[in-house]
């Protein structure tokens, strides 16, 4: 299946003028996949106003023929940065300084034809990738639905007495059995005080009763990622603080969801959740951004965070909304949905309940 469309190279070509470039070299494999549909491990594209060139090596010629639109000229090159592309370069050529290594760049610089000016241009394709088309949303929706099934399976099997590691492995197996390529990141299963670490690594220790367990996971299906977090109770005997923090995080999450729509800035949405959590004196216990884009990569643009500019969200952005409160030495709560930004209320791709759920 290719999700790429002929129009993507045109979108890139349109960006060239804005950046005062004649051509753009695209060689990061995720960007190449988005632009051309190609899923192999070696391929690059060179796009100009009147040029759409795709180059891969002998191993992938057939695959490229099947995946890359015919609007691209197909060429066969070496495994390293290809001469086939280099000899077609002219004018101001943008290259991906965010991903290209110094050694690759030095080789490229020595090889380009006279008159070519190499211009750092990382992020051009990423900016376009941030707005998903209908087929991409459908792919992410399918990955999220698959993850929902695995969340349901985990709740069914129970948590108390199993180790965090066992639960994480079961989740990965659940993803693979259902056809996912794998998890979109190493699943987080963090119980009790360990839940206060936002990026906790699952431990070989049994999960106790009457505490909270943060479960954060997603899968990759047809190249697209999903991402979801739920925090479960492992008994009715939670402390009052646990219950009130859960309630606070849920209110913050719902308020942020209400704020997410095209035209609102990513920093503003973060502020909605952050201010609410801050109003109960827990601002310093919410030590990460509210959310991030998800697509071919698990972390991509746009960001919902205080550390980015307040650039307006656009319809077709797919972002997580995941406030958390972490009480050091005690417990943590994080609640995360994956949503599609629209001109109105966002479409929520995660269907698993957010009410505090007891899983024994």
Q: Summarize as ranges the residues that interact with its own copies (CB under 8 A).
A: 41, 59, 95, 97-103, 105-106, 120, 122, 169, 172-173, 176-177, 182, 199
- CB of 46 or CB of 121, closer to its own copies: 121
Tell me whether residue 200 or residue 356 sits nearer to its own copies (CB atom).
Answer: 200
CB of 173 to its own copies, least distance (A): 5
Q: What CA–CA distance (Å, rounded) separates 285 from 278?
A: 9
Comparing CB distances to its own copies, the nearer of 103 and 240 is 103
CB 222 within 8 A of CB 139: yes
The span from the CA of 274 to the CA of 55, in Å, is 47
Shorter beta-carbon distance to its own copies: residue 197 or 358: 197
Q: Smallest distance from the beta carbon of 17 to its own copies, in angstroms? A: 23
Nearer to its own copies, 7 or 61 (CB): 61
Spell out the residues 6+ positions from residue 83 whose beta carbon is closer than 8 angstroms to its own.
77, 111
Nearer to its own copies, 182 or 263 (CB): 182
What are the residues whose beta carbons fall under 8 Å from the beta carbon of 234, sequence distance 6 or more? 159, 160, 191, 207, 208, 209, 210, 211, 212, 213, 358, 359, 360
Buried b (16+ CB within 10 A) or exposed e, 92-128: bbbbbeebbeeeebeebeebbeeebebbebebbbbeb
Instruction: Please report how close the Cβ of residue 135 comes to its own copies at its closest, in angstroms.
Output: 21
Nearer to its own copies, 98 or 205 (CB): 98
Q: How far is the CB of 342 from its own copies (least distance, A)?
A: 32
CA gap 282, 272 in Å, rounded? 14
219-221, strands of its sheet edge to edge? 182-183, 219-221, 224-225
From the CB of 228, what's the least distance to its own copies, in Å?
20
Give the other-Cβ count within 10 Å of 31's Cβ: 26
95 or 151: whose CB is closer to its own copies?
Answer: 95
From the list 47, 28, 40, the residue with the least C-alpha distance to 2 is: 40
Dist CA 98 CA 104 (whole Å) = 12
CA-based nearest residue to 197, from 216, 225, 172: 216
CB distance 128 to 210 below 8 Å: no
- What is the residue whose two structure tokens read 């090159």? 77
| Least distance from its own copies to the Cβ atom of residue 259, Å | 27
CB of 139 to its own copies, least distance (A): 18
> What is the closest distance, in whole angstroms, from the C-beta atom of residue 268 to its own copies in the complex?
24
Using DSSP, state whether 251 is helix, strand or coil. helix
149 vs 172 by CB, closer to its own copies? 172
User: Residue 294: which of 140, 128, 133 has the closest Cα?
Assistant: 140
CB of 106 to its own copies, least distance (A): 7
């Amino acid at each position: 299946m290719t999700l790429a469309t002929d129009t993507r190279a045109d979108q890139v070509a349109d960006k060239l003028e804005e950046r005062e470039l004649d051509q753009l070299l695209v060689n990061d494999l995720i960007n190449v996949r988005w632009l051309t549909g190609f899923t192999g491990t070696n391929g690059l594209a060179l796009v100009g106003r009147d040029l759409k060139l795709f180059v891969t090596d002998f191993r992938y010629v057939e695959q490229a023929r099947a995946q890359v639109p015919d609007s691209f000229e197909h060429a066969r090159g070496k495994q390293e940065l290809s001469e086939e592309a280099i000899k077609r370069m002219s004018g101001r050529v943008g290259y991906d300084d965010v991903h290209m290594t110094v050694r690759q760049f030095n080789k490229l610089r020595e090889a380009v034809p006279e008159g070519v000016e190499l211009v750092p241009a990382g992020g051009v394709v990423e900016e376009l990738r941030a707005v998903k088309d209908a087929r991409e949303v459908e792919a992410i929706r399918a990955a999220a639905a698959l993850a929902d099934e695995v969340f349901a399976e985990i709740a069914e099997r129970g948590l108390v007495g199993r180790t965090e590691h066992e639960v994480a492995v079961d989740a990965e197996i659940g993803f693979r059995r259902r056809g996912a390529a794998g998890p979109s990141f190493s699943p987080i299963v963090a119980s009790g005080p360990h839940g206060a670490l936002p990026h906790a690594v699952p431990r070989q220790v049994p999960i106790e009763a009457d505490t909270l367990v943060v479960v954060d996971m997603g899968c990759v299906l047809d190249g697209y990622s999903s991402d979801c977090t739920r925090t479960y109770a492992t008994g009715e005997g939670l402390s009052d603080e646990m219950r009130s923090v859960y309630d606070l995080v849920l209110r913050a999450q719902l308020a942020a969801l209400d704020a997410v729509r095209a035209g609102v800035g990513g920093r503003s949405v973060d502020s909605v959740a952050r201010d609410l959590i801050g109003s109960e004196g827990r601002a310093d216990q919410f030590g990460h951004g509210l959310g991030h884009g998800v697509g071919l990569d698990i972390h991509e643009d746009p960001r919902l965070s205080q550390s980015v500019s307040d650039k307006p969200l656009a319809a077709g952005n797919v972002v997580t909304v995941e406030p958390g409160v972490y009480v050091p030495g005690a417990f943590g709560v994080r609640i995360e949905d994956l949503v599609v930004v629209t001109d109105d209320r966002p479409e929520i791709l995660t269907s698993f309940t957010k009410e505090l759920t007891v899983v024994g």
